[in-house]
Amino acid sequence: MQIFISNPRGWEVKMPGKDVVSSFARKAKKTGILAVAHMPYLPNLASADKETHGKSVSSLVKNIEACNALGIRYLITHMGSHLGMGKEIGMKNILDAMEEVSGSIGRVCILLENQAGHRNSIGAMVEDLRHIYEKSSLGESHLGFCLDTCHLFAAGYDISRADVLEGIDKTLGLGKVHALHLNDAMFPLGSGRDRHSNIGKGEIGIEGFRTLLNYDGISSKVLILETPEGEWRKGELEALRKAAGR
Ligand SMILES: [Zn+2]
């Protein structure tokens, strides 16, 4: 299960109180559900604007602290937008952010999420994710990746092909990918557009997910649907379980 610590469209991050922490732990134990957290959407770790960058880093720190309090290991974050300043500067700002939060990291592992490739966004290419990983001092216990299938497809990676998956594996190391967002894509390969579609109803199709889920180790990772809600949801889960051979 993926949760937001606070309002995904706001800046304010409220720390969970003692009562929330204990009821969260109780429910997690009772249901056996593993929760991961997603950063809100406003922070931009790649921003060159001092104020925005500072606010973004402090939001990341608060989210990390809340995850530590709740016993959540994985915190997924987008890499942000360089807003026209260029990829080099954007990547450096992300790296600075990683250094700035390292003292608060505790037991949390930040997962960098790949992007669809819309204008000025960072992280559409898996090489960029790897670059941040390589240059950061956080190390493998505190930094990894979350792959969004819709974003991969929109960025030009045809994940219905085993050789494409092999290429991603070679660059990133799938062992460092701890979670996947399973979303079909509304637009064709390489469209650069981030529009999620229900599993089997988009351009990737159920055969694409079959290839992906049967690739080395993928089906044992944290798998999360971010598809439009509705009647089809139960069918999506069944189709995915079937495709994974479960
Ligand atoms: Zn995301």
Q: What is the pLDDT of residues 13-45, one digit of tens each?
A: 999 999 999 999 999 999 999 999 999 999 999
In the structure encoding, which two tokens stand for residue 201, read together? Answer: 């109803």
Helix (H) or strand (E) holding 141, with range, is none
Domain boundaries, the chain: 2-243
**Where does the pLDDT of residue 232 fall: very low under 50, low under 70, confident under 90, or very high at 90 and above?**
confident
Residue 114 Cα, ligand 1 centroid: separation in angstroms? 8
CA–centroid distance, residue 5 to ligand 1 (Å): 14
Q: Which of 170, 237, 163 is nearest to 206 (CA)?
A: 237
**How remote is the CA of residue 84 from the centroid of ligand 1, in Å?**
21
CB atoms within 10 A of CB 65: 19
Token code pair at residue 7:
């309002």
pLDDT at 50 (0 to 100): 96
- Predicted TM-score (pTM) of the model is 0.96
Residue 77 CA to ligand 1 center (angstroms) comes to: 6
- What is the 138 CA–ligand 1 centroid distance (Å)? 21
- Cα(40) to ligand 1 centroid in Å equals 9
Average pLDDT of span 39-67: 97
Which CATH homologous superfamily contains domain 2-243?
Divalent-metal-dependent TIM barrel enzymes (3.20.20.150)
Tens digit of pLDDT for each residue in 69-101? Answer: 999 999 999 999 999 999 999 999 999 999 999
Please give the distance, rounded to the nearest whole angstrom, from the Cα atom of residue 29 to the centre of ligand 1.
Answer: 26
When comparing pLDDT for 9 and 233, which is higher? 9
| CA 2–ligand 1 middle distance (angstroms) | 10
Rounded to the nearest angstrom, the distance between the alpha carbon of 76 and the centre of ligand 1 is 7
Cα of 38 from ligand 1 centre, angstroms:
7
Label residue 7 by pLDDT band (50, 70, 90): very high
Q: Find the 113 Cα to ligand 1 centroid distance in Å.
A: 6
Answer yes or no: is pLDDT of 118 > 90: no
pLDDT of residue 106: 98
* Distance from the alpha carbon of residue 1 to the mean position of ligand 1, in angstroms: 13
CB 46 within 8 A of CB 100: no
- pLDDT value at position 187? 96
Taking the centre of ligand 1 as the mean of its atom positions, its distance from the CA of residue 50, in whole angstroms, is 24
Average pLDDT of the segment spanning 102-119:
96
Task: Report pLDDT digits (tens) over 200-231.
Answer: 999 999 999 999 999 989 999 999 999 998 88
Q: What is the DSSP string of 143-206?
A: EEEEEEHHHHHHTT--TTSHHHHHHHHHHH-GGGEEEEEE-EESS-TT-----EE-TTSSSSHH
Q: What is the DSSP letter of 201?
A: S
